[in-house]
């Protein structure tokens, strides 16, 4: 089954925390295989774990991360991702725009898979429209912002 969505790091965190509730509800409405994450997102989530390794909340956070990765498969970067990365970066540079490097790789990965990127960081990713399909399940209009 071909995935339909790639989740950005903030959406994965919202699903893990069940906040805002509409993100978790939207996720639960999907069938297994509809949603994936990039190894770049996985790396960002692991970085978050590393930052709290010596705290009392680490064990619970690690369990949550493990469950999240069981629910949302990590899809390896394919050969075409680098070409999309280069094209996106050149387009942004020509326009005098930037987005974070990890975000650029996540966008390129979503484009290579021909899936919609789900993020609450639409301000940056909208710079890649219409080449990149972007949705915000957190629905900032409903009052939720990072």
Annotated binding-site positions: 8, 103
For residue 79, how many other CB atoms are within 10 A of its CB? 7
| Residue 20: cis peptide before it, omega within 30 degrees of 0 | yes
Q: What is the dihedral of CA 51, 53, 58, 62, to 10 degrees?
A: 80
Q: Vertex 37, ends 117 and 83: CA angle to 5°?
A: 65
Measured CA to CA, the distance from residue 17 to residue 11 in angstroms comes to: 10
CA 49 to chain centre: 17
Question: In whole angstroms, how far apart are CA 115 and each of 15, 38, 111, 122, 125?
Answer: 19, 12, 6, 16, 14
Annotated binding-site positions for Mg(2+): 8, 103
């Amino acid at each position: 089954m071909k995935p339909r969505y790639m989740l950005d790091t903030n959406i994965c965190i919202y699903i893990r925390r069940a906040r805002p509730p509409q993100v978790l509800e939207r996720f639960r409405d999907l069938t297994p295989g509809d949603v994936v994450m990039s190894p770049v997102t996985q790396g960002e989530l692991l970085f978050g774990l590393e930052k709290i390794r010596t705290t009392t909340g680490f064990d619970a956070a690690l369990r949550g991360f493990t469950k999240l990765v069981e629910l949302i498969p990590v899809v390896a970067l394919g050969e075409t991702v680098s070409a999309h990365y280069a094209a996106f970066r050149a387009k942004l540079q020509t326009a005098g725009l930037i987005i974070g490097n990890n975000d650029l790789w996540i966008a390129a990965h979503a484009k290579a898979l021909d899936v919609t990127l789900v993020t609450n960081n639409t301000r940056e990713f909208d710079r890649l429209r219409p080449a990149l399909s972007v949705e915000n399940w957190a629905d900032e209009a409903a009052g939720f912002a990072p």
